[in-house]
Amino acid sequence: MIPNGTFGAKPPSAGPRPLMRVFQIIVSFVMRLFGMRVVQLSTKGARTGQQRTTDLIAIPDGPDAWIITATSAGSAKHPAWYFNMVNHPDDIWLRDGGRRVRVDANNVKGEEAEAAYAKLIAKWKGYASYRTKTNREIPVVRLSALG
């Protein structure tokens, strides 16, 4: 696993889970209005074992693959969904529109990661500032459909 950083932006507040989910639905709706591809990533909680779902901006990487990134808005720690994927790699699901598939997650490295991150920045400019807010390596993840 990629280590956390030693500094970063204040992580987004989780708040009460139902309220946070409503906020996430509204933000995802707005993102879609502006032409961004938003997928739902479902993972098994690293500590709780409960199913967790989060909306993320994704870029397609072929017909059965997507690129996402674990920015956590530039905070020093990775987002919870990233730890969930690392701890339960066999229980990762993705919903893209009406399609729900089990996926395999792999960290992308080097030039491939740089190119993918540049594509993400082209979709949403906010990604550009996150790398300046923390010293941790922000993971770029390729999700590939299984079976």
What integer pLDDT is reported at residue 6 of this predicted model?
84
Q: With helix as H, strand as E and coil as C, how does 39-99 read?
A: EEEEEECCCCCCEEEEEEECEECCCCEEEEECCHHHECCCCHHHHHHHHCCCCEEEEECCE
- Measured CA to CA in angstroms, residue 29 lies from 32, 50, 94 at distances of 5, 25, 17
CATH of region 17-145:
2.30.110.10
Return the pLDDT at 30: 67
Q: What is the pLDDT of residue 52?
A: 92
How does residue 37 score in pLDDT terms, banded at 50, 70 and 90?
A: confident
**CA 72 to chain CA mean position, Å:** 8
Predicted pLDDT at 121: 94
Q: How sure is the predictor about 147, in pLDDT bands with cuts at 50, 70 and 90?
A: confident
Which stretch of 13-17, 33-37, 129-133, 136-140 has the lowest confidence by average pLDDT? 13-17
- pTM of the prediction? 0.85
Q: What is the per-residue pLDDT for 71? A: 93
Domain ranges in the chain are: 17-145
Question: What's the pLDDT tens digit per position in 41-68?
Answer: 999 998 899 999 999 999 999 999 999 9
Q: What integer pLDDT is reported at residue 16 of this predicted model?
A: 60
The angle subtended at Cα 24 by Cα 118 and Cα 4, nearest 5°, is 55
Q: What is the mean pLDDT of residues 63-76?
A: 93
Tell me how far apart the alpha carbons of residues 133 and 6 are, in angstroms, rounded to a whole number: 11
